């Protein structure tokens, strides 16, 4: 009955593709361009499939011609990052990770509270006419996950980096401090950690969890209760209801880790778009260049003001000594600019990196920048400043597609040596090609994968079927303390009794031998 089958197939295709229009609430509160743009293609793809997206974002695109996406602008978040000096503290070696963490927590708590207080936030909490089927929320902070409880809908956590430990925990992914240490730690060799590093990683992981669960979550809970009401469940319980986790990891940039089926990787540079023409002046400058070109940008968070005047002077001296041209993205005045250097406040980075004249990218080691560089097979010079940048650059030097310059060692010599090394020694270019091939080689485009799993979550109203049973076990069961207790107990009793028995036998033998020896002594 081929015609019936045909009808069924058409029916199924219809059911799983066209007929489906859901209302999705997406909240990405982190005020950072690189936390926002990787997901733009996902919102657009979901919208194109007929879903309505309400997007709370610090970087709205404000493009009226994009249908089905309603943006709620929380760009005021950037004010709090400045107010608490988050970036300055994170870049300052004499400030501890705990103090950096505190500044970030204070800033994000202010941002979240300002949003919940705002008319848009109040509408989301109180307007009974709102309807949502799914929440998508950044897997970095817990607060906004409360909306999944509010609307009784499942939620997906997304992360433009590897995500925070607590959300790997909640998805049931192992967070083993020796196999997958926190990206904030600087480990010499991830595959062969020293005892000191393993101890440090264990202590870091334990302290992190204690601080998050017993300090941060308590404070956040008290704040959230003001807005969501006293019957809000414990944040720990909300977090553990996570349906899916989309993390931007890739073996080119991260140590591989064990993941549950509710976790998918979208680390193939989902935001990398098709080529666009370069601005005329830059294209002419690049095309007319007889020399190779160095591209230098420290990303959107490391502002020109973070570099002091002497560092900027060292950079210009280094660049002027090079037999190459340098394209420098900096939002700041630079004095005594050499002739071979062109500076711009903003540059279309992907299309710059795509240009064949560009041979090396000097980067702060932010994940999105590095993804773009490796996508176009360009080796890098990493100058990590904070966060995961250290680990990303470490992975790069370990795999060999670039070199590192320490941020306190930005000198005329170190920069020019690094540039000449990476451009003239072909090994970096070769490695960049090898890892570029691995990076681009994926089963299905990451946007399609993310869309499919989003709709999967919608179809089944969550993914309880993937829940790791470990999440519902008390810790003594998970660590098998009772089982190990019995096993070691029995072993101990058995060894103890055996020892007693052997001692008894030996004592008898020795007693008899002793008498014989005594006798033999007499014979001599």
Ligand X SMILES: *[C@@H]1O[C@H](CO)[C@@H](O)[C@H](O)[C@H]1NC(C)=O
**Residue of 17, 311, 397, 495 that binds ligand X (CB under 6 A):** 311
Place of tokens 């250097």: 341
In whole angstroms, give the CA distance from residue 191 to residue 197.
12
Of the pair 308, 498, the CB lying nearest ligand X is at 308
124-163: which residues touch ligand X (CB under 6 A)?
Answer: 152-154
Instruction: Report the nearest approach of ligand X to the CB of residue 202 (Å).
Output: 27
Contact 462, 135 (CB under 8 A): no
Contact 347, 331 (CB under 8 A): no
Check binding of 95 to ligand X (CB under 6 A). yes
What is the rounded radius of gyration, in angstroms, for the C-alpha atoms of the chain?
29
**Residue of 3, 4, 63, 516 that binds ligand X (CB under 6 A):** 63
Structure tokens at 216: 């941060």
Sign, Cα dihedral of 239, 243, 249, 254? positive
Check binding of 356 to ligand X (CB under 6 A). yes
Check binding of 461 to ligand X (CB under 6 A). yes
Contact 325, 249 (CB under 8 A): no
Instruction: Report the nearest approach of ligand X to the CB of residue 406 (Å).
Output: 4
Of the pair 413, 472, the CB lying nearest ligand X is at 413
How far CA 77 is from CA of 56, 73, 136, 139, 341, in Å, comes to 11, 10, 19, 17, 34
Which of these ranges, 113-121, 137-145, 304-312, 495-503, lies near ligand X under the rule CB under 6 A?
304-312
Of the pair 43, 246, the CB lying nearest ligand X is at 43
In whole angstroms, give the CA distance from residue 179 to residue 447.
29
DSSP 385-414: -STTHHHHHHHHHHHTSEEE--GGG--HHH
In whole angstroms, give the CA distance from residue 331 to residue 343.
9
DSSP 70-110: EEEE-TTHHHHHHHTTHHHHHH-TTS-HHHHHHHHHHHHHH
Contact 30, 138 (CB under 8 A): yes
The 10 Å CB-count burial string (b at 16+, else e) for 215-231 is ebbeebbeebeebbeee
Instruction: Report the nearest approach of ligand X to the CB of residue 150 (Å).
Output: 11
**Residue of 186, 189, 281, 413 that binds ligand X (CB under 6 A):** 413
Which of these ranges, 265-273, 340-348, 411-419, 516-524, lies near ligand X under the rule CB under 6 A?
411-419
Q: Which residue is nearest to ligand X (CB)?
A: 21
Place of tokens 């919102």: 43
DSSP 342: E
Binding mask 414-443 for ligand X (x = CB under 6 A): x--x--------------------------
Instruction: Report the nearest approach of ligand X to the CB of residue 29 (Å).
Output: 21
Which of these ranges, 26-34, 35-43, 185-193, 412-420, lies near ligand X under the rule CB under 6 A?
412-420
Check binding of 513 to ligand X (CB under 6 A). no
Of the pair 283, 448, the CB lying nearest ligand X is at 283
In whole angstroms, give the CA distance from residue 401 to residue 379.
5
Total chain residues near ligand X (CB under 6 A): 28
Contact 51, 30 (CB under 8 A): no
Which of these ranges, 75-83, 324-332, 371-379, 403-411, lies near ligand X under the rule CB under 6 A?
403-411
Pairing mode of beta strands 293-297, 23-28? unpaired
165-224: which residues touch ligand X (CB under 6 A)?
Answer: none
Check binding of 299 to ligand X (CB under 6 A). no
Structure tokens at 261: 């089926």
Of the pair 100, 212, the CB lying nearest ligand X is at 100
Check binding of 308 to ligand X (CB under 6 A). yes
Contact 86, 382 (CB under 8 A): no
Check binding of 73 to ligand X (CB under 6 A). no
What count of residues does the chain have? Answer: 524
**Residue of 17, 409, 425, 498 that binds ligand X (CB under 6 A):** 409
**Residue of 30, 32, 34, 52 that binds ligand X (CB under 6 A):** 52
Check binding of 305 to ligand X (CB under 6 A). no
Instruction: Report the nearest approach of ligand X to the CB of residue 22 (Å).
Output: 6
Check binding of 66 to ligand X (CB under 6 A). yes
Check binding of 287 to ligand X (CB under 6 A). yes
Check binding of 462 to ligand X (CB under 6 A). yes
**Residue of 94, 191, 333, 524 that binds ligand X (CB under 6 A):** 94
Alpha helices (runs of H) in 118-194, residue ranges in sequence order = 119-126, 146-151, 165-171
Instruction: Report the nearest approach of ligand X to the CB of residue 21 (Å).
Output: 3
Which of these ranges, 90-98, 216-224, 327-335, 342-350, lies near ligand X under the rule CB under 6 A?
90-98
In whole angstroms, give the CA distance from residue 498 to residue 474.
35
Instruction: Report the nearest approach of ligand X to the CB of residue 310 (Å).
Output: 5
Binding site for ligand X (CB under 6 A): 21, 23, 52, 63, 65-66, 88, 92, 94-95, 152-154, 283, 287, 308, 310-311, 355-356, 406, 408-409, 413-414, 417, 461-462
């Amino acid at each position: 009955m081929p015609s019936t089958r045909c009808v069924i197939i058409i029916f199924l295709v219809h059911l799983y593709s066209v007929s489906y229009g859901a209302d999705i609430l997406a909240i990405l509160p982190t005020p950072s361009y690189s936390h926002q743009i990787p997901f733009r293609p996902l919102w657009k793809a979901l919208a194109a499939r007929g879903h309505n997206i309400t997007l709370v974002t610090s970087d709205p695109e404000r493009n009226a011609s994009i249908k089905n996406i309603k943006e709620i602008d929380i760009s005021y978040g950037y004010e709090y990052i400045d107010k608490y000096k988050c970036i300055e503290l994170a870049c300052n070696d004499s400030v501890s990770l705990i103090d950096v963490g505190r500044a970030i927590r204070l800033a994000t708590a202010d941002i979240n509270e300002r949003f919940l207080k705002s008319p848009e936030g109040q509408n989301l909490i109180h307007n009974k006419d709102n309807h949502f089927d799914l929440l998508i929320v950044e897997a970095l902070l817990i607060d906004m996950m409360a909306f999944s409880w509010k609307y009784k809908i499942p939620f997906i956590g997304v992360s433009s980096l590897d995500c925070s430990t607590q959300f790997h925990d909640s998805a049931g992914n192992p967070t083993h401090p020796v196999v997958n240490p926190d990206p904030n730690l600087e480990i010499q060799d991830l595959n062969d950690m020293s005892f000191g590093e393993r101890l440090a990683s264990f202590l870091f992981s334990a302290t992190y969890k204690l601080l998050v669960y017993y300090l941060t979550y308590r404070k956040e809970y008290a704040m959230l209760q003001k807005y969501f009401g006293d019957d809000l469940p414990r944040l720990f319980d909300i977090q553990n209801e996570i349906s899916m986790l989309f993390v931007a990891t890739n073996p080119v940039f991260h140590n591989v880790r064990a993941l549950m089926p509710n976790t998918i990787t979208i680390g193939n540079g989902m935001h990398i778009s098709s080529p666009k023409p370069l601005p005329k002046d830059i294209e002419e400058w690049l095309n007319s260049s007889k020399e190779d070109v160095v591209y230098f940008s420290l990303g959107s968070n490391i502002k020109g003001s973070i570099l002091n005047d002497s560092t900027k002077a060292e950079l210009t001296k280094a660049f002027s000594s090079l037999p190459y041209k340098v394209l420098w993205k900096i939002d700041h005045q630079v004095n005594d600019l050499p002739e071979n250097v062109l500076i711009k406040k903003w540059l279309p980075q992907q299309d710059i990196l795509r240009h064949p004249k560009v041979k090396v990218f000097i980067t702060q080691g932010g994940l999105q920048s590095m993804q773009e560089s490796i996508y176009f097979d360009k080796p890098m010079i990493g100058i990590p400043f904070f966060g995961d940048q250290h680990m990303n650059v470490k992975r790069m030097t370990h795999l060999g597609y670039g070199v590192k310059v320490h941020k306190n060692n930005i000198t005329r010599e170190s920069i020019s040596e690094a540039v000449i090394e990476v451009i003239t020694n072909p090994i970096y270019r070769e490695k960049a090609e090898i890892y570029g091939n691995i990076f681009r080689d994926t089963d299905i485009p990451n946007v399609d994968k993310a869309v499919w799993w989003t709709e999967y979550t919608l179809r089944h109203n969550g993914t309880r079927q993937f829940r790791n049973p470990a999440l519902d076990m008390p810790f003594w069961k998970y660590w098998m303390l009772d089982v190990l207790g019995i096993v070691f107990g029995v072993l101990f009793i058995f060894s103890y009794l055996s020892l007693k028995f052997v001692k008894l036998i030996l004592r008898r033998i020795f007693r008899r031998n002793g008498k014989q020896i005594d006798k033999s002594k007499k014979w001599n």
